[in-house]
Amino acid sequence: MLSKNDEKVLEAISEGDSDPQSIADKLGMKVEAVRASADALGEQDLIKVTKSVAEIVSLTEEGTKYAKEGLPERNLLQSLGSGKPISELKDPALKIGLGWLRKKNWATIQGGVIKPLDSATMGLDEVMLQDLLAGAKNIADLHKKSLADLKSRALVASSKSKEWRYVITGSGRSLAESNKKYSESSTAFGYSNISYLEKVTSEVIKNGIWDGKYVTIDGNRYEFRPYDVTLAADRIIPGKKHPYQRLIDFMREIMLEMGFVEIKGQIVQSSFWNFDALFQPQDHPAREMQDTFYLDSLADIPDYSRVKEMHECGGAGSAGWGGCWKPEVARQEVLRTHTTGVTIKYLAEHPEPPVKAFGIDRVYRREAIDATHTPEFEQLEGIVMDRDVTFSHLLGILKEFYAKMGFEEVRFRPGYFPYTEPSVEPEVFIEGLGWVELGGAGVFRKEVTAPFGIEHPVLAWGLGVSRVAMLKLGLKDLRLLYQSDIEWLRETPVSIKL
Amino acid sequence: MPVVRLYYEDMERLIGASRDTIMGRLAMMGADIGKRAEEEHVDVEFFPDRPDLYSAEGVARAMQGFLGLKTGLVEYPVEEGPIVLQVEESVKSVRPIIGCAVVRGLSFTSEAIESLMGLQEDLHWGLGRNRRKVAIGVHDLSRVTPPFRYFGEDPARKFVPLDFTEEMSMQEILQKHPKGKGYGHILQGCERYPLIVDCKDQVLSFPPIINGELTSVTEETEDLFIDVTGTDGMVHKALNIVVTSLAERGGRIESVVVKRSEGDFVSPNLQPSSWTVRAAEANKLIGFDLKPPELAECLRRMRFGAVANGSEVRVQVPAYRADIMHSWDIFEDAAKAYGFDRLDACLPGTVTVGRAHPSELRKAEIREVMAGLGYLETMPFTLTNEKMHFQWMRRSPKGAGVVAVLHPISELHTILRTSLLSSLLEIFAMNQHHPLPQRIFAAGDVVVEKKTRMHLAAASIHSGANFSEVRSAVDAVLRELAIEAEIVPSQDGALLPGRGGDLLVGGQKIGCFGELHPLVLGSFGLEQPAVGLEIEWGEL
């Protein structure tokens, strides 16, 4: 896509002009604009650009003065008349001329009187001064002896400068010719005044009269400059939601569509809600310091008598764990290790059926960080509590949930979780990976629900959302979710298939 | 979870089924096979609730039922034996519970010994809470002379511990022996240590630490004496699991009389426990529709004794099962035998209306505004450290309500963030090799005084980042989110003096914005100017 300027520059070069200044003069453009166009033409191999370093000569301040007013020797000569005694020369500028007057053999001094000789013709040095007054010149184009004289008189100075030379290439020539032909043919069709428009202006919109691709404004016929629309443009990046958030919202939408109420809870939880309320025995390995982030503080906990009794003596058909349940252990605060503590608290506050609730939130495990482990990650959890819901219904919900997630093939393997019975580990089939375990599920144990007066079965399932992100976003390193590479955020499309 | 190595040839012989049949059904019995199948064997993980599956014999016993080859309760005869173990008062404050048994007529190969040691270790983990609640000792009975004594001994008492040749005192064992160092903490603060000796005062075992070298089991060993000590009833479960597993290998179980001041008992007790369950309850939980005889048949396949009786099923739970504490535990086994794949996986009729949490709706608004302003969303960790969060930000942790974790796993993650801006600067620091400008935001949780609060932070870095850019952004955010805030000059050390503002609502500070202080940028290793804003918009 050539701009109007590029085209003109190309034409000039095809006609033999080779340096930016002469092209600029010819086209009435700024030399910088010519150079920019030529660079663009060069990049498209329409012309060949050669850069060289040249020595440029220009006038000094004094040189400029003499170029305008004449050299001191010339002025002195003119003031001599037929002769003049040296003693009469008062003007110091004229005195400077005296030496050069004799050197150039324009006059003689006899008995203190200066006498002009025959006609003093215009010297090459004077011509050069006049030339340089018009603009700097390349040293190669100047008379060497005169230049040396002017330099010795500090009237000129030289400096190095870059110089450009342009030569048309084969493809440049044929393009220039076809451009020319095009404009001639336009002329042939009687549109001698046709030219390109660059921009749609309000003038064009209001007053343009259209005929196909031509538009006539105020009697002039135009065409919009056609662009090469296949060329790539500058990259712009819109502000966007995080790809992982997109996945989380996708999963939230599924839960909302399935009629679940979204719940939230505190990051800092008591061991009571995080463990004890879920019938996790106080000496359970999962509660040890090496797996859980503990805080150096104790929480207020609700009336725990029924939970304590369930742990120690059982109830609701259960034998319990035995041993001694200690409230001070339950009061220890932790960063929640799962969202299930939030769920059981919500159920304790809403024991009447039906309840369908879900949450997707960050949970914390004391794990060393690497590509597949981060100390915090998102977990999805859903529960259904109602009269007459069964383990089979749980499998039905899981099938529906995974199908909506895009995992059409699901199978169920017996599993084990401390607070559910029966427990199941759903596996989904993924092309290239086979059966992949994805989450866990079960019916809350009676030992969990009974102390909170929850009388009906609670179907529950959960899964690690970052695991899903690995599958759906093609991630190899989970850290990328949290310590994001900005290029990854930029390049991941909004329409990524989830 | 315990990993049990199963040799195919061994399993085929023990179960009486082909390798393919076994492998095809193993996962559905409740095992995690993963991808660890080898030429000769497979390593299988079993769940912590089923310690009776921690040996090849235990798996075979369950598999025979699951495949329908042998169903119902396994009866293990226990011969009445003459051996006596006396429990003395001195041990009761240290490690009061003991169970023991004799198993005779065994022939050990080195693999069988390894398998027995493996079962012991898995039980120490699964039931024993790393030996605190349960510790098992297995001895070559021929090397010692009953009766035995279990008592609290002076820690200065010396004997030769397993795998050593020199005598050591019990105190030394805790300090020098690898097992002593590993488990000595269990005896911390005890004045006397538990010890089992024979009638000649030869040491069998120093529970829960180490056996004596004297009774170590070799390929010549035929008769075993087994002691299990601990703190509660799991001791007997563990003993039952070990002796029944040895019986599956052809051993004959013989009882031991345990004498105690509170009453003698005969050990082991392999009597099953009796339960009565209702088929209707099983159906209500699982969602199948089994008649009592069908339920009983399912349970027999899980090696329970089970007889239908009207609407009920009388169940005998084997003495080696450690996980049955509620009728639902029995029903789950019935569902496994029935097959999860045969259950009618249908949706329940529960009708409810979905509802998003208000904070998520608000976050969606924030994301819409910030994306519209050209910012990319990030989701940094909520865990951070004091150095980056306060020191680098030129802010004081005092009065910030910061929550620190007790045992951080890395010095990078020691506290929960109280604000978001430093996390964004950290992301800039990680992305310096990518083109500028970079504009990012986060809408996430912070924790102040243990309460979750919700913040928005945004930051922009490029050579032209300046106050007017961030002021425009703040104005847009406040306007779009309908927050009416007063802007006053900020004293925040993170901001360049005179180029930062605080946002006040009702006189309370809800946020700040401005040009980040060059010292802050320098701490994060950033070399271009950056501006940022942070607004608290809610709490849970």
CB–CB contact A366 B409 (8 Å): yes
Provide the pLDDT for residue A137: 79
> In terms of domains, do A406 and A456 share one?
yes
Q: Are residues A125 and A204 in the same domain?
A: no
How far apart CA B515 and CA B500 sit, in angstroms, is 6
Q: Is A238 left (phi over 0), alpha (psi -120 to 50) or beta?
A: beta
| Statement to judge: residues B222 and B261 lie in one domain | yes
Q: Tell whether the model's pLDDT for residue A87 goes beyond 80.
A: no
Residue A214: pLDDT over 90: yes
**CATH code, domain carrying B131:** 3.50.40.10
Q: Tell me: do A111 and A206 sit in the same domain.
A: no
* B344 belongs to a structural domain: no
Does some domain include residue B385?
yes
CA distance A261 to chain B (A): 5
The predicted structure's pLDDT at residue B305: 97
Please check whether residues B82 and B61 belong to one and the same domain: no
Domain coverage including residue B441: 358-539
Q: How far is CA B122 from CA A338, B131, B183, B223, in A?
A: 26, 10, 15, 22
Is the peptide bond prior to B437 cis by the omega test (within 30 degrees of 0)?
Answer: yes
A480 neighbors B378 (Cβ within 8 angstroms): no
Q: Which residue has the higher pLDDT, B125 or B533?
A: B533
Does residue B93 share a domain with residue B232?
yes
Distance from CA of A151 to the nearest CA of B (A): 46
3-state secondary structure of B29: helix
Q: Based on the fold, state whether residues A309 and A427 are members of the same structural domain.
A: yes
Question: What is the CATH number for B304?
Answer: 3.30.56.10
Q: For position A182, what pLDDT does the model report?
A: 64
Among A364, A374, A413, A448, most B C-beta atoms within 10 A, so best to mutate, is A413
Domain-embedded: residue B351: no
A149: CB partners within 8 A, 6+ apart: A125
For position A185, what pLDDT does the model report?
53
Instruction: Check whether residue A83 and residue A207 sit in a common domain.
Output: no
Query: Does residue B353 form part of some domain?
Result: no
Asked if A399 lies within 8 A of B345 by C-beta distance, the reply is yes
User: What's the rounded Cα separation, in Å, for the pair B136 and B54?
Assistant: 14
CB of A342 closer than 8 Å to CB of A380: no
CB < 8 Å to B66, chain A: none
Mutate to test the interface with A, among B377, B415, B441, B448 (most CBs of A within 10 A): B377
Do A435 and A286 have their domain in common?
yes
Q: How many CB atoms lie within 10 A of CB A119?
A: 6
pLDDT digits (tens, 9 = 90+) for A300-350: 999 999 999 999 999 999 999 988 999 999 999 999 999 999 999 999 999
* Claim to verify: residue B253 and residue B334 sit in the same structural domain: no
The pLDDT assigned to B524 comes to 97
Out of A258, A333, A376, whose CB is closest to B382? A376
Q: Are B272 and B318 in contact (CB under 8 A)?
A: yes
* End-to-end Cα, chain A, rounded Å: 40
Of B452, B459, B377, nearest to B417 by C-alpha is: B452
For residue B426, the chain A residues in CB contact (below 8 A) are 483
Q: pLDDT tens-digit profile of B414-461? A: 999 999 999 999 999 999 999 999 999 999 999 999 999 999 999 999
Residue B490 CA, distance from chain mean position: 48
Query: For B339-359, what is each residue's pLDDT tens digit?
Result: 999 999 999 999 999 999 999
Average pLDDT across chain A, whole number:
89
Residue A12 domain-assigned (yes or no)? no
Q: Which of B335, B409, B447 sits opposite A391 (nearest CB)?
A: B335
Nearest partner of B283 among B236, B243, B318, B331, judged by Cα? B331
Provide the token pair at B14: 């023990």
* Residue B345 in domain: no
Mutate one of B50, B130, B237, B347 to test the A interface: name it (highest A CB count within 10 A).
B347
More confident residue, A79 or A239: A239
Last residue in a domain, options B249, B267, B285: B267
**A437 contacts in B (CB within 8 Å)?**
32
Residues A114 and A262 both lie in one domain = no
Pair A206, A292 in one domain: no
Q: Domain range for residue A291?
A: 243-491
Question: What's the CATH number where B469 sits?
Answer: 3.30.930.10
Shared-domain flag, residues B62 and B82: no
Q: Which residues on chain A are in Cβ contact (under 8 Å) with B325?
A: 314, 318-320, 447
Residue A496: inside a domain: no
Are B106 and B242 contained in the same domain? yes
The residue among A496, A443, A463, A428 whose CA lies nearest residue A255 is A463
Q: pLDDT of B245-256, one tens digit each?
A: 999 989 999 999
Is A457 contained in some domain?
Answer: yes
Residues paired with residue A54 on neighbouring β-strands, in sequence order: A161
Q: Percentage helix, strand, coil, to 5, in chain B?
A: 30, 30, 40
**Cβ–Cβ of A483/B380 closer than 8 Å?**
yes
Identify the pLDDT of residue A194.
66
Calpha distance A423→A441 (Å, rounded): 6
Residue B178 CA to residue B295 CA, distance in Å, equals 50
Q: What is the CATH number of the domain that holds A304?
A: 3.30.930.10
Q: How far is B140 from chain A (nearest CA, A)?
A: 32
Residue B230 is assigned to a structural domain of this protein: yes
pTM of the model: 0.79
Q: Are A210 and A294 within one domain?
A: no
- Beta carbons of A117 and A106 less than 8 angstroms apart: yes
Residue B71 resides in a domain? no
Across the interface, whether the CB atoms of A389 and B49 are under 8 A apart is answered no
CA of B288: which chain A residue's CA is closest?
Answer: A392
Grade residue A192 by pLDDT with cuts at 50, 70 and 90: very low
B491's tokens: 């004293």
- Whether residues B388 and B498 share a domain: the answer is yes
> Does residue B362 have a pLDDT over 90?
yes
Residue A284 lies in a domain: yes
| Burial B333-342, CB ≥16 within 10 A → b, else e | bbbbbbebee
- Report the Cα A234 to chain-centroid distance in Å: 10
Model confidence pLDDT, tens digit, residues A453-495 = 999 999 999 999 999 999 999 889 999 999 999 999 999 999 9
- On chain A, the residues whose CB falls within 8 A of the CB of B461 are none
Give the residue on B whose Cα is nearest the Cα of A320: B325
Shortest Cα distance, chain A CAs vs residue B109, angstroms:
34
What token pair was written down for B325?
């504490």
Taking CB atoms and an 8 Å cutoff, what residues of chain B touch A266? 450-452, 540
- Is residue A41's pLDDT more than 80? yes
Task: Judge whether B347 lies within some domain.
Answer: no
Give the residue with greater pLDDT, B258 vs A52.
B258
Query: Are B486 and B528 contained in the same domain?
Result: yes
pLDDT at position B31:
86
Does residue A52 sit within a domain?
no
Residue A184's pLDDT band (boundaries 50, 70, 90)? low
From the CA of A33, how many Å to the nearest CA of chain B? 27
Q: According to the model, what pLDDT value does residue A343 have? A: 96
Check whether residue B206 and residue B311 sit in a common domain: no
Specify if A352 maps to a domain: yes
What is the DSSP-derived secondary structure letter of residue B404? B
What is the rounded average pLDDT for all residues in chain B?
94
Locus of tokens 């590509």? A371
Whether residue A187 is predicted with pLDDT greater than 60 in this model: the reply is no
Helices B8-15 and B56-66, axial angle in degrees (round to 10)? 50
Residues B82, B192, single domain; the answer is yes
Q: Are residues B319 and B407 in the same domain?
A: no
Q: Do residues A333 and A467 make contact, with C-beta atoms less than 8 angstroms apart?
A: no
ipTM of the complex: 0.93
Assess whether A370 and A340 both reside in one domain. Answer: yes
With CA atoms as reference, the chain A residue closest to B410 would be A368
Which pLDDT band, with edges at 50, 70 and 90, does A191 fall under? very low
Considering only CB atoms, B232 lies closest to which of A267, A323, A355, namely: A323
Q: Looking at residue B210, what DSSP letter applies?
A: E
> Of B45, B66, B87, which marks where a domain is finished?
B66
Peptide bond into B161 cis (omega under 30): no
Query: Does residue A371 belong to any structural domain of this protein?
Result: yes
Domain count across chain A: 3
Q: Are residues A219 and A249 in the same domain?
A: no
Report how far residue B170's alpha carbon sits from residue B154's, in angstroms, rounded to the nearest whole number.
8
Instruction: Name the domain count of chain B.
Output: 4
pLDDT above 60 for A188: no
CA angle A183, A186, A188 (to 5 degrees): 115
Confidence band, pLDDT 50/70/90 cuts, at residue A110: confident
Cβ contacts of A256 on chain B, cutoff 8 Å = 354-356
CB contact under 8 A, B347 and A393: yes
Residue A9: inside a domain, yes or no?
no
Kindly state whether residues A371 and A250 are assigned to the same domain: yes
Residue B507 in 3-state DSSP? coil
Q: Could you count the other beta carbons within 10 Å of the beta carbon of residue B456?
A: 24
**pLDDT class of A385 with cuts at 50, 70, 90:** very high
| Whether residue B331 is found in the same domain as residue B427 | no
Query: Please, are residues A270 and A264 in contact by the beta-carbon 8 Å criterion?
Result: no
What digits encode the pLDDT tens for the residues B467-488?
A: 999 999 999 999 999 999 999 9
What angle do the packed helices A243-257 and A465-472 form, to 10 degrees? Answer: 110
Helix or strand holding residue B266 (H, E): strand B265-267
Nearest to A487 among B133, B344, B434 (CB): B434
